Amino acid sequence: MKKPLIASLLLLIACQLAFAEKFTIPVLPDTQCEVNNNPAMFTSQMEWIVKNKSALNIPIVLHVGDVVDWDTPDHRMWNVASAGFKLLDDAKIPYAIAVGNHDTGVVKVGGGAAPGDAHANARITTEFNTFFPVSRFAAQQGRFEVGKSDNCWHTFRVGNTNWLVLCLELWARQSAVDWAKTVVASHSNENVIVITHSYLDSKGAIKPDKGGYGDLSPQEIYTQFVSQYPNVLLVLSGHVGSSAKRTDQGVKGNTIYQILQDYQGADLGGGYIRLLEIDTTAGTIAAKMYSPFYDLTKTDASQFSFSDVHFIAPGKLQDAKQEK
């Protein structure tokens, strides 16, 4: 085959991928127990994602928080987590991580409450931001606080749709929520995915509590932020239960799809990944839980799909960075 013909075929394939309307977003549930007790299980998730990057058209990987169980003097778990995500770095797969309570100063070695003021400890994220500096987040465009990814936003594009992932801190401060409002309001052409660690309970209700030491409850965050913007499409969370879902109608008439995934309570998590297959042409979002470690797909209520999904019409992807 002549070189010009090969080049033309490669260009055609690249164009087809660029405008593909079906893609998969892997969502990592709380990985704390895997990272602590079975690193091979955690690594299997990352290796599988890398292997299937092209076949599944994976544009980004999301993590709902509790990356580790707790910090130790030798930072053993943070090193395991960092090495796992390096597989994504090397494969040039962007990712976004919400901060969980176990990723903060709230939890001491062994899992108990750390001494001191829990409310203040919840905002201590030194290790998270040390092992995952802003430079590691290839798709990150801005953040609430300089040099910290506790509250941040990322963008990606698939086909002719633009997407924004907003990571919101656990039981967020009012100032962080006010910042999030400005980000979403100024990106009206992006389909917005919000990831925050605690949001739905195991029955699919939006949690009314703030864990005893947070600032705003998920219900308050829903009322004043999530429900207010027509481009908010998905909210993803972990922290409790196993799998749950709910839909609500925002004040602008848009449907908001909210999904819980957290399997740490059984077999250390089992290496399960939430796979969200999104088809913007068909208007569908299909969800399932798959474990590369066991090569098993759950066939329970964690497998579901949404139809008649409205995706935001194409618009110009904004590159401007916002940083407080």
pLDDT tens-place string over residues 194-250: 999 999 999 999 999 999 999 999 999 999 999 999 999 999 999 998 999 999 999
Token code pair at residue 260: 């819980």
Range of lowest pLDDT (118-122, 183-187, 319-323): 319-323
Indicate whether 3 pLDDT > 90.
no
Please report the pLDDT score of residue 109 as a whole number.
97
Kindly report the average pLDDT of the chain as a whole number. Answer: 93
User: Which amino acid, residue 104?
Assistant: T
Mean pLDDT along residues 12-18: 44
| pLDDT tens figures, 19-37 | 458 999 999 999 999 999 9
Please report the pLDDT score of residue 20 as a whole number.
56
Please report the pLDDT score of residue 319 as a whole number.
38
Indicate whether 15 pLDDT > 70.
no
- Virtual torsion, Cα 2, 4, 10, 12, nearest 10 deg: -120
Return d(Cα 129, Cα 136) in angstroms, integer.
Answer: 10
Indicate whether 114 pLDDT > 80.
yes
| pLDDT tens figures, 120-178 | 999 999 999 999 999 999 999 999 999 999 999 999 999 999 999 999 999 999 999 99
Indicate whether 12 pLDDT > 50.
no
How far is CA 176 from its chain centroid?
A: 17
Return d(Cα 11, Cα 5) in angstroms, integer.
Answer: 10
Contacts of 151 (CB under 8 A, 6+ apart): 143, 144, 145, 167, 168, 169, 172, 176, 179, 180
Assign domain 19-306 one CATH number from 1.20.272.10, 3.40.630.10, 3.60.21.10, 3.40.50.720: 3.60.21.10
Indicate whether 316 pLDDT > 90.
no
Q: Where are the domains of the chain?
A: 19-306
